[in-house]
Amino acid sequence: MYMSKMRAQRGVGMVEVLVALLLLAIGVLGFTALQLRAVSASMEASNQVLALNLARDLTERMRANPQATQCKLYHTEGALAKDTKAYTKASNCSGSVSTQATAQANSDLLFIYNQANTLGMAVIINTCPNATNAGNNLGRQCVYIAWDKTAQNFTNSDTCYKSGGSSYERNTTCLFLEAY
């Protein structure tokens, strides 16, 4: 009788080990997926910080050059390119803009272009959405910065921001910062 019980349990230990290995493999795969998601979120956060720092740098440069900012010399028609003169709008100021202010604006735009290009980002500067013609909102400009897939076809601010709306487009990787 003892021998028949031994024969009935023969191989049961192997099945238990295989089930345990299967459960362990499922746990490890779940952990791996979680780790990949964490790395992806960390990269996105890093890109957001880099873009925000780039936008802050440009807005500080604009603040340091008020004549060019008021005349919208920082305002671009499309994504900022190396030849900033091709994208800088003509001045709409009542008075003439000093050569120094224009040169500084072009220098600032070229510097920001080089920084953005190095980081794989694209920059657009234009009038903020929902800007009104009353009070301090007149002339309010926004710096838009895109990265990853959004930067590849970043031609205007509508790529990131719903025109006339108050939210970002879905699945875009960009941000904007108002410059006063």
Rounded CA gap, 161 and 158, in Å?
Answer: 5
Please compute, for residue 180, the number of CA atoms within 13 A of its CA located in the half-sphere on the CB side: 3
Q: Among candidates 137, 150, 119, 147, which has minimal Cα distance to 179? A: 137
Strands 174-179 and 141-146: antiparallel
96 residue type, one letter: S
Rounded CA gap, 51 and 44, in Å?
Answer: 11
Give the pLDDT mean for 144-166: 80
Total residues belonging to the chain: 180
Tell me the pLDDT tens digit for each residue of 44-73: 999 999 999 999 999 999 999 988 888 888
Rounded CA gap, 155 and 145, in Å?
Answer: 11
Any idea which residue has 């013609």 for tokens? 133
Residue pair 144/131 in contact (Cβ under 8 Å)? The answer is no
Position with higher pLDDT, 6 vs 180? 180
Tell me the pLDDT tens digit for each residue of 66-108: 888 888 888 886 666 555 444 445 455 656 778 888 889 999 9
pLDDT of residue 86: 43
Give the pLDDT mean for 159-179: 79
Confidence of residue 42 (pLDDT cuts 50, 70, 90): very high
Q: Is the pLDDT of residue 19 over 80?
A: yes
